[in-house]
Amino acid sequence: MNRKLYTSLILLMSFSLIGIILMQGYWIYSSWKNKEEEFSLAVNRTLREAVDEIQSRELNDYVNTYQMLIDSVGTPDEQNFTDVFLFLDEDQSSNLSTFFAYGILEEDYNINLPKNLTNRYGNDNLKDYKAVKTTIVNKNIFDRRENRLNASISKLKSVEDIDIFKFEKYKSAFQEYASSLPIHKRTTSREIQILLDRGFNDRNITTPYEFGIYSNGLSTKVKSNNYIEIQSGPKYSIPFLYDRSSPIKYDLVISFPEKQEYVLSGIIGVATLSFMLTLIIIVISTSALYQIIQQKKLSEIKSDFINNISHEFKTPIATINLALDAISSSKNNLNDKSNSYLGMIREENSRMLSQVENILRISQLEKSSNPFDMEDTNIHEVIEDAVEHVKLIVDSNKGSINLNLNAKNPFINGNSNHLENIIINILDNAVKYSKASPFINVSTKNIDDNLEICIQDNGIGMDKNTQKMVFEKFYREQNGDIHDIKGHGLGLSYVKKIVDFHKGKISLESKKGSGTKFYINIKTLTNENK
């Protein structure tokens, strides 16, 4: 893992952790605020409904009492009709006029009102009011003035109750009277508590509360049993039995000593679960970061060790090659057995050098994001050079390599040395994994803007599991517990890395016992880019 990728990963995980914590905190805060708003809205609605119901009940009590008194008296002693609206419709063609009259019929019973119903605006007698209307049609349009003057109660066609007028009359009289009464004579603590309990139960509010009624900022006798003026907890207030004409202002104040605990209880379960999950994520992420850091350190140590040991290996390998050359060129005649041993040493030493170079190449690739220079490269020339390197090995195994280089545009942006090495690695594997004489076919073709290299062999092939793992470092196919083929499993890992650095793709097709096809696809250079 290169340094930039490692740093980016650490920063990404850190930002993700911080983001998760902040989001969880914001969610918990938002949920708490929403619960508080819902609670306040429910409380205010309950208070409004309770006050409205008490006001309606109080007024209805007086209205019912007043109406019962009127009904018990019977016929009024005096009736007085007052026009409030007159309308005249004249039809000139038929010489007809229609007279409409609307008014108020005042009925006076000449009975003084009881003290609890005394009207404070100038009349203590029991009176009632009704709406009256009449319609008169005259044949002679010139008689309309006389008919208007003769309009009287006896000529009225219908009489109706004036519900709105009557209600407003009673309300005005009552408000005038009620404003003079103390609050404890207009309502009780029990009534208020029953209405509040009902409203809170309907809205699923179960937390304890205390209430009291204030008169111009001073506490009254109407309050709950445990209510004190210095009440703990959030408070809500609403005007109580409000009358603009009255100098006395009443307020119903309610407090919730355990409101915060109640609101938090609604989200504490989810908040606790969220906190636990967040804590688990933090622990896992921290552990992952720690492991990444440790792996990074181990990787750096391993890489440095491999580089050092590889460089150290190259010196004795080179010395052995020099010694072999010296022995081979000496004047001492060596027998066939000695020459055979020398050949074995030279071959194994060469193989060791090849593996050391592969290790150094892979280590160089892992350390740098851009380990080599790129230039315009003719892939056909690279393939031909690679074939020359393995031709002797193929010939010694009585095999052959067939070239079908048919790509019309063989130019890519690449590094010829590394590209040659990956071709050599694939060809070398084709030879090593062929039980019979190796027959290899190398072909190229253009597919759209890409160059495809296909290397096909007649080797032992691979099963599906091996195909998935073949490009992994140090992976080698096994028969039981015995490695049949010499090597360290680095060749195809190196091939994959080189292809990736060229922004290409490598794939394979294989079947056990039927050989393998490797496909390499790399973007070609256009005429503008050459």
The pLDDT score that the predictor gives to residue 50 is 92
The pLDDT score that the predictor gives to residue 366 is 63
Of 381, 459, 395, 389, the C-alpha closest to 424 is 389
The pLDDT score that the predictor gives to residue 153 is 36
Distance CA 127, CA 76 (A): 8
pLDDT one digit per residue (tens) for the chain, 530 residues: 556 776 777 788 778 878 888 888 888 888 888 888 999 999 999 999 999 898 888 877 776 766 666 666 565 655 555 545 555 555 656 666 665 555 666 666 665 655 555 443 344 555 666 666 666 665 554 444 444 434 433 333 344 444 555 566 666 666 666 777 788 888 889 999 999 999 999 998 989 999 999 888 888 888 888 887 666 667 899 888 766 666 668 899 999 988 888 888 877 877 788 788 888 888 887 887 788 778 777 777 776 776 676 667 777 877 887 787 777 776 566 677 777 777 778 777 776 777 677 667 666 666 655 566 788 999 999 999 889 888 888 888 889 999 999 999 999 999 888 898 889 889 988 888 888 889 999 999 999 899 999 999 998 888 888 888 888 766 666 544 434 555 545 678 888 888 988 899 999 999 888 889 999 999 998 765 55
Q: Say which residues have a Cβ less than 8 Å from residue 308's Cβ, sequence separation at least 6.
A: none
Q: Residue ranges of the alpha helices (H) in 375-513?
A: 379-396, 416-432, 464-469, 491-501
Residue 331 tokens read as: 């004047």
- DSSP-assigned letters across all residues of 85-152: EEEEEEETTTTEEEEEEEEEEEEEEEEEPPGGG--SSS--EEEEEEEEEEEEEESSGGGHHHHHHT--
Element (H, E) at 291: helix 259-329
Residue type at 347 in one-letter notation: E
CB-based contact 461:429 (threshold 8 Å): no
CB-based contact 377:412 (threshold 8 Å): yes
The pLDDT score that the predictor gives to residue 112 is 60
The radius of gyration computed from the CA coordinates of the chain, to the nearest angstrom, equals: 53
Residue type at 125 in one-letter notation: N
**Quick one: fold of 372-523?**
Heat Shock Protein 90 (3.30.565)
Residue 511 β-bridge partners? none
The pLDDT score that the predictor gives to residue 410 is 93
Q: Where are the domains of the chain?
A: 74-178, 372-523
The pLDDT score that the predictor gives to residue 176 is 66
Sheet containing 400-405, strands listed edge to edge, beginning at the edge strand earlier in sequence: 400-405, 439-447, 450-456, 516-523, 505-510
Distance CA 474, CA 488 (A): 6
Specify the pTM.
Answer: 0.44
CB-based contact 220:248 (threshold 8 Å): no
The pLDDT score that the predictor gives to residue 202 is 92
